[in-house]
């Protein structure tokens, strides 16, 4: 009972007997299980209970924003990873998504989205720009907490993969773009938030220019010592406030398209 997560919508949708039936097997995600969740069709065992446990763990780790917990509880992460990795979709681990890139761990996605929302006590954020669509998972999460999501990817193969992954979810507020995110996306500006899924040497000036006053940038950035840290920039009327937070490990931010 105490492990019950804080997103009633999903729990209410999962019939109690199905959730109870799933519990024994799904409680040990590292053991190979015969077909734990159907990767694309969404048939078979209910993945809601496994996701609910992931959300409980995130809450126990300190993610407190109910909007973030609800978003991670509702997006089916297993739809975004290869069939062979479906068993690990709800573990707190980053996973390969092809072309030498990775989908971030759920705890890192949750932390970054929470930081992005931190200036807004409730409701939805306005337009958000994501740099590095990858497989599209974080874009789907952002779609739950922001009115519009512009997500840009520099690798055509991943841009197309994200399109295929997101199509069945029919998220009308997600706009996938193929291009170099170092220059942002001026047509969608100004943004209430900008979130980068790849780490650069510095936060590009263009991102700050495309950020609304009162907006926030959350971006992994390489520090003088060579390690990456999460950096939050808050744009005020006259000044930009920078906070350097914990160490992270993201794929590099690269310029140009491929
Ligand atoms: N948010 C993604 C994580 C993808 S990994 C997800 O949920 O799956 C980071 C991605 O950033 C990679 O796909 C990489 O190709 C992309 N990337 C790196 N530099 C970029 C740039 N300048 N513009 C756009 N995408 C970039």
> Is residue 26 scored above 90 in pLDDT?
no
pLDDT attached to residue 46: 79
Min mean pLDDT across 28-37, 74-83, 122-131 is at 28-37
State the pTM of this model. 0.85
Report pLDDT digits (tens) over 54-99: 999 999 999 999 999 999 999 999 999 999 999 999 999 999 999 9
- Round to whole Å and give the CA distance between 52 and 74: 9
Mean pLDDT of the chain, nearest integer? 87
Do 126 and 212 form a contact (C-beta atoms < 8 A)? Answer: yes
Report pLDDT digits (tens) over 101-121: 999 999 999 999 999 999 999
Pick from 160, 168, 156, 186: nearest CA to 258: 156
Is the distance from the beta carbon of residue 158 to the nearest atom of ligand 1 less than 6 Å?
Answer: yes
Pick from 105, 110, 113: nearest CA to 81: 105
Residue 211, strand partner residues: 191
Query: Which residue among 154, 157, 228 is best mutated to probe the pocket of ligand 1, counting the most ligand atoms within 8 A of its Cβ?
Result: 154
Nearest-CA residue for atom 2 of ligand 1 = 134
Identify the architecture of domain 92-248 in CATH.
Answer: 3-Layer(aba) Sandwich (3.40)
Is the distance from the beta carbon of residue 257 to the nearest atom of ligand 1 less than 6 Å?
Answer: no
Q: What are the residue boundaries of the structural domains of the chain, listed by start?
A: 92-248
Q: How far is the CA of 130 from the centre of ligand 1 (A)?
A: 9
- The residues carrying an active-site annotation are 104
Banded pLDDT at 8 (limits 50, 70, 90): very low
> Is residue 1 scored above 50 in pLDDT?
no
Taking the CA of residue 252 as reference, the ligand 1 atom at the shortest distance is 18
Q: How far is the CA of 252 from the centre of ligand 1 (A)?
A: 8
């Amino acid at each position: 009972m105490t492990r019950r997560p804080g997103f009633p919508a999903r729990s209410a949708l999962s019939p109690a007997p199905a959730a109870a039936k799933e519990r024994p097997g799904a409680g040990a995600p590292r053991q190979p299980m015969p077909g734990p969740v159907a990767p694309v069709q969404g048939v078979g065992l209910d993945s809601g209970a496994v996701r609910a446990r992931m959300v409980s763990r995130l809450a126990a780790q300190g993610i407190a924003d109910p909007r973030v917990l609800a978003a991670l509880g509702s997006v089916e992460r297993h739809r975004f990873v290869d069939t062979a990795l479906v068993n690990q979709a709800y573990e707190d681990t980053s996973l390969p998504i092809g072309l030498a890139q990775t989908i971030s761990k759920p705890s890192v996605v949750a932390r970054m989205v929470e930081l992005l929302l931190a200036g807004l006590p409730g409701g939805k954020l306005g337009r958000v720009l994501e740099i590095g669509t990858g497989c599209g998972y974080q874009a789907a999460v952002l779609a739950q907490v922001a009115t519009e999501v512009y997500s840009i990817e520099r690798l055509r193969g991943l841009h197309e993969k994200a399109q295929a992954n997101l199509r069945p979810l029919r998220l009308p507020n997600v706009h996938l773009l193929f291009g170099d995110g170092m220059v942002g996306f001026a047509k969608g500006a100004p943004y209430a938030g900008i979130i980068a899924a790849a780490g650069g040497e510095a936060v590009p000036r263009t991102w700050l220019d495309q950020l609304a006053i009162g907006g926030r940038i959350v971006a992994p950035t390489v520090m003088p010592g060579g390690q990456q840290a999460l950096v939050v920039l808050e744009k005020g009327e006259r000044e930009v406030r920078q906070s350097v937070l914990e160490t992270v490990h993201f794929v590099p931010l690269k310029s140009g398209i491929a």
